Amino acid sequence: MSETALRALSSARPIALAEAEEPAVRLTHVSKWFDTAGRRQTVLDDIDLTVGRGEFVCVLGASGCGKSTLLNLVAGLDRPSAGAIEVTGGRRPALMFQEHALFPWLTAGRNVELALRLRGVPRSERPEEARRLLELVRLKDAYGKRVHELSGGMRQRVALARALAQESDVLLMDEPFAALDAITRDVLHEELTRIWTENNLTVLFVTHNVREAVRLGQRIVLLSSRPGRVAREWTDSDLPEAALTARVTDALREEIRRHGRR
C-alpha cells in the first residue's frame, strides 16, 4: 500500500468543528503549485467550491487537470499553496482511491477492522462492526475471505466499507470505479447511491467519465486543463440526462481542445 493510502486511512483524527450552518466543504481561492528546477508549475488556480451537507458533487475533467490534487488537499494529505479549505464535522474526510489499496495478507473483515482500530474502536467490538459495514456494501459473507478471493468489484466494496469505517460525514472518491467493467461499475453506482442516501453522506467524487458524473452527481463541476480552474457547473435538474450528458461532453471536449491549442 502506498504512503498516501496509509496516510488517508489513518486520517480519522478530530479536526476543528465549524458552525452547524456551515457547508460540509468550502474551498476559497485555493491554488496549488510546485516549484521545480526554478520553474513554477501551477496545478490548481483560484478554486472556489462549496459542497453542502448531504450533497453529491462530481468533479469532472481531463487527465492531469488537478482533480486528484484537489481531493488530496480536501483530505488534508497536502496543503494549498494559497487560499483556505474548511471541512466541517468531527473527523477528517474519508478517502477512497481508484485502486482498492487493501492489505492482501488480511481478510476483508480485518482490512475493515484496521480502520476501526485507527478510529479507536475497542478490539472486542471491531468484528461485529466490520461485519455490519460489509453487510452495508452487500458483502455479508466476505468477512473471512482474503483479497485474492474477491473480484474487482468486491474489492472496491471492501474499500468502501473501510472508508465508511472512519465514520466521517464526508466521503472523497478518486475515480474508484475506473478500472472496473461497465456492468460492475453500474452495479456499484447503484450501491453507492443507496449508501449515500441511507447514511446522509456528503460525497465529493472525482471522475473523467461524463456518463458517470451525470448519473451520480447532483452537481457537476468541470475543471479546465492545466491549470485546473472551475470552468462550468451544472445541476442534475438543468436538463434531461441524455441532453445533459451531451452538453457536458461538448464542454469537456472543448476544454481538451483548448489545452491542445496552448
What are the tens digits of pLDDT across the range 146-189?
Answer: 999 999 999 999 999 999 999 999 999 999 999 899 999 999 99
Residue 63: what pLDDT? 83
Q: Are 136 and 191 found together in one domain?
A: no
Q: Are 15 and 135 found together in one domain?
A: no
Lookup result for grid cell 456492468: 183
C-alpha cell of 10?
A: 489513518
Regarding pTM above 0.85, the answer is yes
Residue 17: what pLDDT? 36
Quote the domain boundaries for residue 188.
3-93+171-260
Amino acid at 135: E
Where are the strands (E) in the chain, listed by range? 25-36, 39-51, 56-60, 82-87, 94-96, 170-174, 202-207, 219-223, 230-235
Residue 221 within a domain: yes
Q: Write the CA distances from 215 to 186, 207, 249, integer angstroms.
A: 10, 12, 13
Q: Are 244 and 186 found together in one domain?
A: yes
Residue 14: what pLDDT? 34
Residue 1: what pLDDT? 47
Instruction: Count structural domains, the chain.
Output: 2
Q: Are 78 and 137 found together in one domain?
A: no
Low-confidence ranges of the chain (pLDDT < 70): 1-21, 259-262
Residue 3: what pLDDT? 47
Residue 261: what pLDDT? 53
